[in-house]
Amino acid sequence: MSRKRQDHKQAQGIVSKCSSRIAKSGSHAHGFFIGNNKYTLFSENDLSPVTDGDRVLFKYETRTLKSGYRAKYNAIIPDTLIIEAPAELEEKIEGVVYILSNKSMPGLLKIGYTTGEAIKRADELSRVTSVPTGFRVEWTLPVYGNPRAVEQGAHAHLASNRHGKEFFKVSLDVAKDACISSFAKLYPEQASLMDEAFSVRAKNEIKRRAQLREIAEEREQEIKAEEARKAYEQSDEGMWRSKGICRMIVHDFESQPERRSPSLFLKLFGTQFEDFMDFEVKAQQNKDEISWCVSIAGRKSEQHISEYKYFVTRNDCVEYASEFVKGYGVSNYRIIVDVPNNLIENPPIPVDLPKNYYVSARPHIIANMDDLVIRPDPIKPKKYRR
């Protein structure tokens, strides 16, 4: 559906709060403020054409977002944005010479001056009852000197094309040249400063574009690195490193114990299952520190035993388990030590690395853990939506 046609409005002033983003359409949305009003220019160019401090003139239209909020925004009409004076120019503007058009006066252009804003002057002239249609600003020239003198010089240059007091039957380019020539003749030094300012702007834009390229390249490298990281995490080795477990068997069962209790029927015949002790020592992360937990499960004289203990080191856990066994006098016992791979800086890679470890998880048995570097898993910073 085509957007409802409307008359384009005009804005003029000093730019502030410049910003750029990627719009939903994929184009670049360059925004800035003039006073309290925000304007947006949609462009395929990633470099904003303006910077804070620029004096600009442009046409725009008010549009409505397609989202549920239906908020309104001011969209700059492409190719109408004119930088009247770049921020690099530090001279004080004393007025502007303007060129106006009016569709009720085809072929005629009005050349005048004001110490205020050309748009406001155009609005004042448009309110005259003898004018059927409004005036539109076609071009302005900031003047660092006497704007009236520049205007008079342009009038004199175009005297043969005069049609009325300030109206001339010339093309816009001829009218512009007359104004610029008058300004350069009256204020050659200021005109030279204007040229230098635009030259500095061009150099600054080259620097800004180089910075944007660097940022884009860094972002591209970050995206590639992130994609490679995710691909590795989903690989067999990546799954092993993040989900795997290294296990050391300090002492194993003499025979696999029956972990169930005898049924009531078996108890009637005096059946008893043998005593056993199972000690599982595991490294755990507590904030930015490693702690060790030993969990005990077993049976002694038909009584179930269950206990948890925390220690500072792995050896403390193993020693506690050994003393526990002696205290209960149980001969069939097992002591194992498990360390999750995410807590190991240099986890060994099994020769028979399991496929799809997340599904077929099983510990990797190692002879000892003396060569493993056990440390807390680095805490990933939280990502906040901007």
Query: Given pLDDT bands bounded at 50, 70 and 90, which one contains residue 373?
Result: very high
What is the pLDDT confidence band of residue 164, given thresholds at 50, 70 and 90? confident
User: Over 60: is that where the pLDDT of 207 sits?
Assistant: yes
What was the pLDDT predicted at 168?
95
Residue holding tokens 């002790």? 277
- Residue 179: name the closest of 150, 218, 219 by CA: 150
Task: Identify the structural domains of the chain with CATH numbers, from first to last.
Answer: 1-87 (2.40.50.140), 245-366 (no CATH)
Binning pLDDT at 50, 70 and 90, where does residue 361 land? Answer: low
Average pLDDT for 155-178? 92
Most confident of 249-253, 255-259, 272-276: 249-253
pLDDT of 317 reads 95
- Looking only at the bridges linking them, the beta strands covering 82-85 and 55-64 are antiparallel
117: which residues sit within 8 A by CB, 6+ positions away?
Answer: 12, 13, 96
Is the pLDDT at 2 greater than 50? The verdict is: no
Highest mean pLDDT among 4-8, 206-210, 307-311: 307-311
pLDDT above 90 covers a percentage of the chain that reads: 46
- Say whether pLDDT at 383 is over 60: no
Task: Give residue 277's pLDDT.
Answer: 96
Q: Would you state the pLDDT for residue 4?
A: 46
Stronger pLDDT, 321 or 233, i.e. the higher one: 321
Q: Work out the average pLDDT over 192-204.
A: 77
Per-residue pLDDT at 234: 86
Main-chain phi, psi angles of 377, to 5 degrees: -70, 125
More confident of the two residues 359 and 34: 34
- What size, in residues, is the chain? 386
Output the pLDDT for position 359: 47
Q: What is the pLDDT of residue 84?
A: 84
CA 202 from centre of chain: 27
Which band of pLDDT confidence, cut at 50, 70 and 90, is reported for residue 89? confident
Specify the pLDDT at position 380: 62
Q: What are the counts of helices (DSSP H) followed by strands (DSSP E) for the chain?
A: 7, 17
Mean pLDDT of 129-140: 85
Instruction: Report DSSP state, residue 317.
Output: H
What are the residues whose beta carbons fall under 8 Å from the beta carbon of 56, sequence distance 6 or more? 12, 13, 15, 34, 50, 81, 82, 83, 84
| Cα torsion angle, 309, 314, 319, 324, sign | positive
pLDDT, average across residues 233-261: 89
Cα 215 to Cα 23, 52, 220, 222, 386: the distances in Å are 18, 20, 9, 10, 18
Where residue 187 falls among pLDDT bands split at 50, 70, 90?
confident
Min mean pLDDT across 8-12, 161-165, 360-364 is at: 360-364
Tell me, what's the pLDDT at 384? 43
Does 276 have pLDDT greater than 90?
Answer: yes
What the block records as the tokens of 362 is 């099983």
Res 227 pLDDT > 60: yes
Q: Look at 346 and 354; give whichever has higher pLDDT.
A: 346
Grade residue 90 by pLDDT with cuts at 50, 70 and 90. low
pLDDT in tens, 3-46: 444 568 889 888 999 998 888 888 889 999 999 999 999 988 88
In the prediction, which pLDDT does 79 show? 85
pLDDT above 70 covers a percentage of the chain that reads: 90
Q: Please give the residue that has the higher pLDDT: either 204 or 19.
A: 19
Q: What is the chain's mean pLDDT, rounded?
A: 86
Q: What is the pLDDT of residue 332?
A: 96
